[in-house]
Structure 1
Amino acid sequence: MALEWLKQRYSEVTANLKTEVTKLKNKTFLEAVVAGCALVAHADGVVKPEEKQKMMGFLRNSDVLSVFDPQEVIAIFEKYAKQFEFDHQIGQAAVLQVVGKLKGKDSEARLMVRVCCAIGAADGNFDDQEKGVVRKICNELGLNPKDFDL
């Protein structure tokens, strides 16, 4: 009986450790995706509910990012949103700095840009302002905006 309990505890601890390691490995990607989404959402000056919902849906369905608590995701989004509310240029600079951490990580960078494009189109209108900020993200990452029809 004690051996069975020990095996069960070992399985639980192992699963928890795997989740924590996954979180650590993907924290930079999470922060870049959420920051990029905040930049796109603020491009036209109005953050629409559809944009937030689209971002949360992606994060919930992502194998890599679904391990994160939604409250943590919201806190990251709000952190960048406040910077935009204070000063748009400061907010943009902060986002591009975080996004730049994905430079050289091609698959992660491309996925992040695709998510940002989806956020821009979430309200049914991927306008020129939103496309413009996604082009800035592409430039920061060393990606060609034409690869994303921008």
Structure 2
Amino acid sequence: MRLDWLTDPAKERAALSGADPHALTAACALMAAAEGADPAGIRARLDGLGDAPAFDATLERLRGDAAVADEEALAAVRAVKGDAEAAKRVARGCCALASADGDLAPAQADAARRICEALNLSPTQFGL
């Protein structure tokens, strides 16, 4: 899925400096666990914005007991649900960090929609 708003991933990454690192890390792990994702690339782009060891641990749990780990990760994402701007930064951030070139795999787009729903955001505002 092409994200038309994501014209410059590097610029978008720079705008994420204020994103909640725990929520962003959990959202990125959800995106990395999706079929067709590049987990190593997402982890590298997350560097300096999130918690790499927490990303690794969450991704490992998602690959193991996916149902439980999925809910844990979504709970971490929901921590910013009450702050509309923080929620938008997390949603935009996980899309930007999961996509080096503005494209998401179909399963990543589904994960991004679930993240938006957990944040009470409309997926359509992010082109999903």
TM-score (norm 2): 0.76
Q: Distance in 1 between matches of 2:114 and 2:43?
A: 21
Contact map agreement 1:113 1:138 (CA 8 A) in 2: yes
Q: Residue in 1 aligned with 2:118? A: 140
Contact map agreement 1:55 1:115 (CA 8 A) in 2: no
Quick one: which amino acid aligns to residue 20 of structure 2? F
- Cα deviation digits, residues 111-130 of structure 1 (max 9, x gap): 01111111221266411110
1:79: Cα distance to partner? 2.1
Q: Residue in 1 aligned with 2:46? A: 55
State the aligned residue count.
111
Q: Percent identity?
A: 29
- Cα deviation digits, residues 29-54 of structure 1 (max 9, x gap): 21110010000011116543221111
SS at match of 2:79: helix
Quick one: which amino acid aligns to residue 30 of structure 1? P
Quick one: which amino acid aligns to residue 36 of structure 1? A
TM-score (norm 1): 0.66
Contact map agreement 1:29 1:102 (CA 8 A) in 2: yes
Unaligned stretches of 5+ in structure 1? 1-25, 60-64, 66-72
Q: Distance in 2 between matches of 1:123 and 1:93?
A: 28
| 1:120 matched to 2:98 | yes
Greater relative CO, 1 or 2 (CA 8 Å, sep 6+)? 2
SS at match of 1:122: coil
Q: Residue in 2 aligned with 1:13? A: none
Whichever of the two has the greater Rg, that structure is: 1
| 1:84 matched to 2:75 | no
Q: Distance in 2 between matches of 1:144 and 1:76?
A: 27
Bigger fraction of residues in helix? 1
**RMSD over aligned Cα atoms:** 2.2
